[in-house]
Amino acid sequence: MTLCNVLSSTEPICEKSHGYQINDRLVQVRCHFTWELLIEDIEMPDLENRIWEEIQFLDTEHKVGYNLLAYVKHLQGKHEDALENLKEAEEVVQGDQADHSDVRSLVTWSNYAWVYYHMGRLADAQTYLDKVENTCQKSADPSRYRMECPEMDCEEGWALLKCGRKNYERAKACFEKALEADPENPEFNTGYAITVYRLDYPAKRPYDVSDAFSLQPLRKAIRLNPQDAYLKALLALKLQDLGEEAEGRECMEEALAHTSSQTYVFRYAAKFFRRQGRVDEALKYLKRALKATPRSVFLHHQIGLCYREQMIQIKNATHMQPRGRDRENVDRLVQLAINEFQKASVLKPTFELAHVHLAEMYAEIRQYKEAEEHFQKALCIPNSDDHIQQEIHYSYGNFLAYHWKSEDKAITQYLKGLKIEKVSYAREKLLKALERLAERRVNRNVQVVESTALLGLIHKLRGEVSKALLCYEKALRLAADLNSMF
């Protein structure tokens, strides 16, 4: 909201001048209004829901939810609700015995000042700016409206982390800055470990310990926070990524033995068991968690993945030819999966993989129009991570190759995915899919020159230079032979 929206043209010049002075002070404070949080309008309902879930069900000393919730309410134009949330944030801070409760008060007061400013209540805004100024001037490096300290960097990191993956790199930088000042701080290490876990996408499964940059931060955070079941559940999943199933299972059992943060631990336990093939056990935990958080996008998506896995198990057991009761069960499971992926995509329209998995299930029952629609939705979501874009192109390419029977269009999708140079598990799947298609075309004598050249490209992208040269030379000879025939 601009100053013109706050101050009408009929107000006295001195009042307007006061408004400009307050604005100059507001931009100096450190809070949600000045941290440049990247939040799309379409993502706000899901963000608001996730904040409420965290406030209610994540048992942690790091209470940051109400301030962020107030900021979201402001973005929605609900300023009275924002003030109510800030009041709740104040109550949390008053009960906070941590050394940096003053910092959290600063964030809350700064948010108060901004909300009152947007409401046109300039005197109230100034009152809270005065509180900020009085606290900042007590710091070792006094500034009128700004405090530079690791605790404030941590607060900014938590806010960025909660606002989605577009903010993760900046969150990581905030926690790193805080850790430089206090390397053994439990909260700083917790925030850093969670952030790098979310940034740590494997290039292959299982992958080497040396490639898992979140493993040691998670271990350190747990050492400093031994009762944090949430961190233990994340470590269990990371160990599973590394193929360390036994240690991962032990870690997950420890997490489940805690009574804290159970709703969140159940989510990750379910994911752990699903990836082990223990789908019934995974569904048990997911449904328990869903009772507490029925609007959780994560839970609906994970339940859909469980139904999909059960469908795949039946198809594999019947050599991909289910009949009779097996066919009925496959169709039932596909529909259950569709229902769950649909809920996830409605609750969070920017959730790319929910659209992809929904498209795959529609393709399974030959509803190709609906499948195409959701692939296009996934492709059109802006600012997707590189590895997610690769996953979309891979899945869409498979759909075009095996359902539309359009190998040329499939190759186009695989190549679009491979143009994204991010090293990832999805990129390796793209290379294998393109290789299978190119080899099949060569064996069927279909566009042999182009297909042989594609094999050369695949070897080149894998760093197999000598094999790539052999393929390119073969493609040139084949092209020359074809030209000589005309």
Query: For residue 475, what are the contacts with CB-CB under 8 A and spacing of at least 6?
Result: 449, 450, 452, 453, 456
**Residue 143 falls within a domain, yes or no?**
yes
Measured in whole angstroms, how far is the alpha carbon of residue 98 from the centre of its chain? 29
Decide which of 147, 166, 199 is a domain's last residue.
147
Determine the Cα–Cα distance for residues 33 and 79; give it in Å rounded to an integer.
Answer: 13
Q: pTM of the prediction?
A: 0.91
What pLDDT was estimated at residue 10? Answer: 34
357 within a domain of the structure (yes/no): yes
- Rounded to the nearest angstrom, the gap between the alpha carbon of residue 177 and the centroid of all alpha carbons in its chain is 22
What stretches in the chain show pLDDT beneath 70?
Answer: 1-19, 61-64, 96-101, 140-142, 203-210, 485-486
| Residue where a domain stops, chosen among 323, 358, 384 | 384
Residue 482 maps to a domain: no
Q: What is the pLDDT of residue 242?
A: 92
CA distance 195 to 193: 5
Q: Is residue 11 situated within a structural domain?
A: yes
Contacts (Cβ under 8 Å, ≥6 apart) of 306:
270, 274, 279, 282, 283, 286
Q: From the CB of residue 317, how many other CB atoms can be counted at a distance below 10 Å?
A: 10
Count other Cβ atoms within 10 Å, centred on residue 251.
24
pLDDT at residue number 62: 60
- Residue 173 lies inside a defined structural domain of this protein: no
The CA distance from 250 to 220, in Å, is 17
Query: Has residue 259 been placed in a domain?
Result: no
Q: Report the distance separating Cα 369 and Cα 372, nearest Å.
A: 5
- The per-residue pLDDT for 339 is 98
pLDDT of 5: 36
> Residue 345 sits in a domain of what CATH number?
1.25.40.10
pLDDT at 117: 97
Q: Please answer whether residues 250 and 232 qualify as being in contact, where contact means their C-beta atoms are separated by less than 8 angstroms.
A: no
Q: Which two tokens stand for residue 388?
A: 């997610």
pLDDT at 59: 83
Q: How many domains does the chain have?
A: 2
- 332 lies in some domain: yes
Q: What whole-number distance in Å separates Cα of residue 211 and Cα of residue 94?
A: 42
Q: How do residues 143-172 score in pLDDT, each as one tens digit?
A: 788 889 999 999 999 999 999 999 999 999
Taking alpha carbons only, the member of 11, 37, 16 closest to residue 174 is: 37
pLDDT digits (tens, 9 = 90+) for 74-130: 999 999 999 999 999 998 888 765 556 688 899 999 999 999 999 999 999 999 999
Q: How far is CA 309 from the centre of its chain?
A: 22
Q: Nearest 5 degrees, angle CA 308-CA 310-CA 314?
A: 115
Q: Would you state the pLDDT for residue 204?
A: 67
- Of 100, 115, 147, the position where a domain reaches its end is 147
Question: Residue 76 belongs to what domain range?
Answer: 3-147
Within a domain: residue 65? yes
